[in-house]
Amino acid sequence: MQNKETVLVTGGTGFLGTHTIVQLLQNGYNVKTTVRSLKRKNDVFEMLKNGGITSFDNLKFIEADLTKDKNWDFAVKDCKYVLHLASPFPSGEPKDEDELIIPAKEGTLRVLKAAQKAGVKRVVMTSSFAAIGYSINPENHIFSEQDWTDPNTKIGPYIKSKTLAEQAAWNFIKTEANPLELTVINPVGVFGPVLGKDFASSVQLIEQLMSGKMSATPKVFFGIVDVRDVADLHIKAMISKEAKNERFLACSDDSTSLPEIAKILRLQQNEYTKKVTKKVLPNWLVKMLSHFKPELKSVASQVGIIKTISNEKAKTILGWKPRNKEVIITDTADSLIKFSIIK
């Protein structure tokens, strides 16, 4: 199956990036992808092979960095669509929030300006639930695409960076980008099968539970979604007329918690899940410990808070069907075993 349309995927080495490239190639698109260094090409080839790709004839790599102008005009040339998935994600709290905010915001505008100049039809941008769900009291509230996180409230640097980057994108479209179209996808915590050693930091939670590094689980509740479903949603949003200038929340039908994920893993009852803890940390203890362990601060602020998140818009408008949490968690765990990430 050959489709002559060319799609640029930014962030080709990423967890979502590789899964999206797999689906685009399987659907017959020509794909260009940006990587910060061409030295990573072979890593991407390896992950795509693990995802079932056997021919790379329709794939091209371009070296481009979100913080620099170089090569972006070349990257978007002859592309009908751009899937902007690349974004900085911290391994820890940065000393200065601008370390995250500036590249996220400026990188997004760099991609949009290059796309507009090249006559791209539509950019589909990966934002986050972070840009939706952190300024409204979750009690009796159902979070939807109508909601926005207020960047002027007390929020972490990552949440702020995602919010400001998305706001900058919409502002660009509103003020100067006609006829460029924008669609934004706002995923919750992204899990699902890894294709190699590169995977989302959310998947590290499963790895920490299975390896016994997490000796007890705090009662933190969050939305969950499969990486394969997020990739699928980007492609659906790319080609649907109804998706023009809309945002879509990407989440499974049901939220989960760390104790529940541990329980789902233990149900697998194999040698790899024996180390998964049964201990649950009381909320007061997490809050107390956060005074001594700065890395627990963001966790402490969320313990016990349950957010109801609606995925109705993506299902109704785009016919999207997300996997359930049991499948997502089990498939994630199986892939960590398959690639010897858990020994």
Domains of the chain by residue range? 6-338
Instruction: Quote the percentage of the chain above a pLDDT of 70.
Output: 97
Per annotation, catalytic residue among 105, 113, 160, 162: 162
Please report the pLDDT score of residue 8 as a whole number.
98
Please report the pLDDT score of residue 214 as a whole number.
93
1 pLDDT above the threshold of 60: no
Please report the pLDDT score of residue 293 as a whole number.
80
pLDDT digits (tens, 9 = 90+) for 169-200: 999 999 986 799 999 999 999 999 999 987 88
70 pLDDT above the threshold of 90: yes
Please report the pLDDT score of residue 3 as a whole number.
59
Please report the pLDDT score of residue 43 as a whole number.
94
89 pLDDT band (50/70/90 cuts)? Answer: low
Average pLDDT over the chain, rounded to an integer: 93
Rounded Cα gap, residues 145 and 93, in angstroms: 27
pLDDT digits (tens, 9 = 90+) for 304-334: 899 999 999 999 999 999 999 999 999 999 9
Please report the pLDDT score of residue 322 as a whole number.
98
pLDDT digits (tens, 9 = 90+) for 248-288: 999 999 899 999 999 999 998 888 889 999 999 998 888 89
pLDDT digits (tens, 9 = 90+) for 51-66: 999 999 999 999 999 9
Active site residue 162: yes
42 pLDDT above the threshold of 90: yes
Please report the pLDDT score of residue 90 as a whole number.
58
**Is the pLDDT higher at 300 or at 339?**
339
300 pLDDT band (50/70/90 cuts)? Answer: confident
37 pLDDT above the threshold of 60: yes
pLDDT digits (tens, 9 = 90+) for 118-164: 999 999 999 999 999 999 999 999 999 999 999 999 888 889 999 99
2 pLDDT above the threshold of 70: no
CATH number for the 6-338 domain, one of 3.40.50.720, 2.60.120.200, 3.40.50.300, 3.60.21.10? Answer: 3.40.50.720
